Amino acid sequence: MRAWLGCLALLLVLALPALAPLPVHAVLPDEVLADPALEARARALSRDLRCVVCRNQSIDDSNAAIARDMRVILRERLVAGDSDAEAVAFLVDRFGTYVLLNPPVRPLTWLLWSGPVLFLMLTVFGFARLWRRRAPAPAPEMSEADRALATALLDEGRER
């Protein structure tokens, strides 16, 4: 009986990933283009564009109204004959580089790209300075007068 329960538990654990929900795309049926090639281009581009309301969620996955508007604009630009770069540039001009899930490396984004490395270097530097301060200072040499006084006090303690 126990072996049967163990097999059932193992089967459930192995089946859980299959039961997990798959990502649901928020593209509504009325947004889908009739041309499959244009729709594939629109889907590929919308996966790399960020919803300006939802943080770190593409417009393809977002249910926000602004994300729907962005998907519609993107599809309109593609139908009008824009290239992929022109359609994305139109949205970037309208909403800023924030809409790009992978922003380009430019002078404006240098801090964004180098920030983690700079933070790590500053942290290591700070801990190194803190560690050096905590290093024990060498004990000062005792003078002859101090040594004689210490010997006298120790001898007096032994006599008691």
| Residue 81 three-state SS | coil
| Chain mean position to CA 32 | 31
- Residue 159: the pLDDT is 74
Q: What is the pLDDT of residues 3-39, one digit of tens each?
A: 666 666 666 556 656 555 544 456 655 566 677 888 8
H-type helices in 96-143, by residue range?
110-134
Other C-beta atoms closer than 10 Å to the C-beta of 123 total 10
- Residue 22: the pLDDT is 44
Strands (E), the chain: none
| Residue 100 three-state SS | strand
CB contact at 8 A, 12 and 49: no
Q: Could you state, in order of their start, the residue ranges of all structural domains in the chain?
A: 21-107
Give the bridge partners for 78, in sequence order: none
Residues in the chain predicted with pLDDT less than 50, given as ranges, are: 22-24
CATH 1.10.260.40: does it fit domain 21-107?
Answer: no
Report d(CA 138, CA 117) in Å as an integer: 36
Report d(CA 48, CA 59) in Å as an integer: 8
Long-range contacts of 87-95 (CB under 8 A, 24+ apart): 87/45, 88/45, 88/48, 88/49, 91/49, 95/52, 95/70
